[in-house]
Amino acid sequence: MDYKNTKDRMDKTISVLREELSIIRAGRANPRLLDKVTVEYYGSPTPINQVANISIPEARQIVIQPWDPKVLPDIERAIHGANLGLNPNNDGKQIRLTFPPLTEERRVELTKEVKKIGENAKIAIRQIRRDAIDQHKKMKKASEITEDDLKVAETDIQKITDGYIEDIDKIMNDKIDEIMEV
């Protein structure tokens, strides 16, 4: 039997999980943190990476150097408005974002957030499994497949699900390790 649709939906869930976890600040500079921040540029909201060069000169610092220096105040305003917990330092040519070291309390908070995001991903995977099994049950009811085919499908879908759940656990544990390392 073909489980391509089920696998595609589960892959999408994993990619959403990775995207959500990449935004969580782990004490070191990560340019992905700015992905959702937009700047008002000539009247339209534009992602920062489309109006400036973003670099990481050291582990705890991001430097944003706009191609048009007139945009600096707008970028600074957008960073403040995004509530990233960072203070932009504008020197007239570029903006520096310095990441303070994470406190133990903040690390524990971030770990809980990672676990919550991971649990939501597991719930999504289980929902996809339920949908796939229901689809096969409907096929059985319509006499498109036999009882044995249904049992094989349920077993296969469960194996696929278990693999994705293991992937989610590994991704979560990697992110927690990244957060907890000093």
**Are 84 and 62 contacting, i.e. CB atoms less than 8 angstroms apart?**
no
pLDDT band, residue 168 (cuts 50/70/90): very high
The SS3 assignment for 39 reads strand
More confident residue, 123 or 88: 123
- Do 92 and 124 belong together in one domain? no
Residue 33 has pLDDT above 90, yes or no: no
| Beta-strand runs (E) in 9-137 | 38-41, 44-47, 52-58, 61-66, 88-90, 95-98
Contacts for 48-55: CB closer than 8 Å, 24+ residues apart: 48/75, 48/78, 51/75
More confident residue, 27 or 5: 5
pLDDT band, residue 161 (cuts 50/70/90): very high
- Do 53 and 110 belong together in one domain? no
- Do 127 and 71 belong together in one domain? no
Calculate helix-pair angle for 4-23, 104-141, nearest 10 degrees. 170
**Are 165 and 125 contacting, i.e. CB atoms less than 8 angstroms apart?**
yes
Range of the domain at 157: 4-23+103-180
Domain count for the chain = 2
Give the residue-averaged pLDDT of 112-117: 92
Least-confidence region, from 55-69, 108-122, 144-158: 55-69
Which of 48, 68, 98 corresponds to the end of one domain? 98
Which of 80, 98, 116 corresponds to the end of one domain? 98
Residue 150 buriedness (CB in 10 A; 0-12 / 13-18 / 19+): middle
The structure's pTM equals 0.72
- Do 110 and 48 belong together in one domain? no
Percent of the chain with pLDDT over 70: 97
- Do 127 and 164 belong together in one domain? yes
- Do 43 and 12 belong together in one domain? no
Residue 83 has pLDDT above 80, yes or no: no
Encoded tokens for 177: 């390790």
- Do 112 and 154 belong together in one domain? yes
Encoded tokens for 5: 């649709």
pLDDT at residue 32, rounded to an integer: 76
Residue where the block lists tokens 């656990």: 169
- Do 87 and 135 belong together in one domain? no
Continuous segment of H or E residues that includes residue 100: none
More confident residue, 118 or 100: 118
Which of 54, 69, 98 corresponds to the end of one domain? 98
- Do 15 and 36 belong together in one domain? no
Query: What integer best gives the mean pLDDT of the chain?
Result: 87
- Do 81 and 40 belong together in one domain? yes
- Do 158 and 172 belong together in one domain? yes
